[in-house]
Amino acid sequence: MKIRLVLLAFLTLSVAPVMESVAADNRAGRVALVIGNAKYPDAEAPLKEPINDAREFADELKRSGFDVEIGENLTGEAMRRALDKMYGRIKPGSVALIFFSGYGVQSARQSYMIPVDAQIWTEPDVRRDGFSLETVLGEINSRGAGVKVALLDASRRNPFERRFRSFSAGLAPVIAPSGTLVMYSAALSSVVSDNGTDHSLFVSELLKEIRVPGLMAEETLNRTRVDVTRASRSEQVPWISSSLAEDFSFIPGQTAQNTTPVAIAKPREDIKPREDIVPPAAKPPVAAVPAKEPAPVAAVDVAKPAPSAAASVAAAPAEPIRDEARIALALADDPTVKTLNGKLAENPDDAGALYRRGQVYASKGAYTLAIKDFDAAIRLNPKDVEAFNNRCWARTVIGELAAALKDCNEALRLRPNFVDALDSRGLVNLKSGASKNAIADFDAALKINPQLTSSLFGRGLAKQRIGATAEGELDINNAKAMDPNIVKEFASYGVQ
């Protein structure tokens, strides 16, 4: 998931002539916290954009009269101190702004900003180590900020996602206090591919529009959304939500000129991802998941030959070539693996360390090593449902389909309706050529989590294989709109 920046700008509103507006800005004050997090140990390489974007944005805010604090590669404790310091600078009627560029994670329909030292292995870890946008906005509001603006460039594919496969991609809608303006760099529950440059498209276009005199903040962000959508050919469509009751301009003392109004998505209790935010040129929203209960999924006889040679080729593409020996050698220097190796040297029966090392191995493509660790974890704890699910997934990727099916079935016996295992078993069935069983599993997973991109894409492939071409194409296109890397991901599993 490509995650980008979070900006919270709390701005006092100008309400009369220009001189009164400037005076109000000076009395209330403009405070900003700008954070760029790039060096995450769990990522394969540092992010290129956050530090440069944070520095340039901070400079622009200073020119606009903000009292700016900037932080780079902040740990959880450092982020907590920076936020507390910002809270202390807020006065009644202040403008408060937070900019965050780095990795963000959606969990339980909330968006979390992730510090560089977060240890995320299960979903509760997100709430423990991450910083909820809703919580931050609520705290700023309680300090009396007049206008609250949050800009998040955090819709990146993150390195934690496959550790617990039920995570939704991208960010979630925010329930914010009144007087708040929020913008994400991409649509809800979608991610953006890294463009490989030193600055993000979102921040580059945002800075251009902020520098345009005479614009109110809502129009500045709407123009940014249009610019990004056009420049990306609708591959990236930022999301906006506003509950502002007064006018506010990033450039103090400016009055609004006659400009074309653009609709803003107002936050509401029943907000659904991608509604009221995508311009006409953008991709269609995700189709609704069927409401009826999926039919029970029978075990798949993977040893049974496919009905025809053509179907066999379509259902089970050649496994991708993997150099696990080379990967294992490289992982010997991985800091997380080193730490876990140390724990296991002290206690070879540390089931938690075995499971986590298996997750690291699997995420890096060392599936044989991962399976060995999951084997050991399951021997120590025969009811470790997560280990069964992850071993199912790893075995599926390398083509051990019969054993994988047994693991997924055991995970679902231990925890019925376990969405991760339904998604994994769908992949087993897809690779086995049991397309109808795959559809049933993916349907069940999507009923629990409608934004589970892997299940949406897998269901699309399975539908195409049974001849439901149009329905399959819709699922596939929607999954690709949510996660541009999903095709590459499935190809790494040996599914195309």
pLDDT at 287: 40
Q: What is the mean pLDDT of residues 111-120?
A: 92
Domains of the chain: 2-242 (3.40.50.1460), 309-492 (1.25.40.10)
**Amino acid in position 17:** P
3-state secondary structure of 34: strand
Longest dimension (CA), the chain: 81
Q: CA–CA separation, 446 vs 286, rounded Å?
A: 11
Mean pLDDT of 396-413: 95
Residue 168: pLDDT band (50, 70, 90) is low
**Do 30 and 97 touch, CB atoms closer than 8 A?**
yes
Encoded tokens for 414: 């231990």
Query: What letter would DSSP give residue 162?
Result: G
The total number of residues written for the chain in this structure = 496
Q: How confident is the model at residue 394, as a pLDDT?
A: 92
pLDDT of residue 16: 35
Instruction: Please give the Cα distance from 198 to 196 (Å, whole number).
Output: 7
Look at residue 311 in the predicted model and tell me its pLDDT. Answer: 35
Q: Supply the pLDDT for residue 167.
A: 54
Calpha distance 389→374 (Å, rounded): 10
Q: pTM above 0.95?
A: no
> Per DSSP, what are the bridge partners of residue 151?
183
pLDDT in tens, 205-239: 999 999 988 889 999 999 999 999 999 888 889 99
Q: Report the distance separating Cα 197 and Cα 194, nearest Å.
A: 8
Question: Quick one: average pLDDT of 157-184?
Answer: 78
Q: Is the pLDDT of residue 23 over 70?
A: no
Which among 100, 103, 203 is positioned nearest to 152, based on CA atoms? 100
Torsion-angle region of residue 290: left (phi > 0), alpha (psi -120 to 50) or beta? beta
Alpha helices in 232-334 (DSSP H): 309-315, 324-331
The pLDDT, as a whole number, for residue 189 is 80
pLDDT of 462 strictly over 50: yes
When the pLDDT of each residue in the chain is averaged and rounded to a whole number, the result is 79
At residue 164, the pLDDT reads: 58
Q: What is the pLDDT of residues 80-110, one digit of tens each?
A: 999 999 999 999 999 899 999 999 998 878 8
More confident call, 69 vs 329: 69
What's the token pair of residue 48? 């290129």
Kindly indicate the confidence band of residue 263, based on its pLDDT and cuts at 50, 70 and 90: very low
Instruction: Report the pLDDT value the prediction gives residue 460, as an integer from 0 to 100.
Output: 95
Least confident of 144-153, 369-378, 386-395, 475-484: 475-484
In the prediction, which pLDDT does 27 show? 43
Q: What percent of the chain has pLDDT over 90?
A: 48
Beta bridge partner(s), residue 70: 34
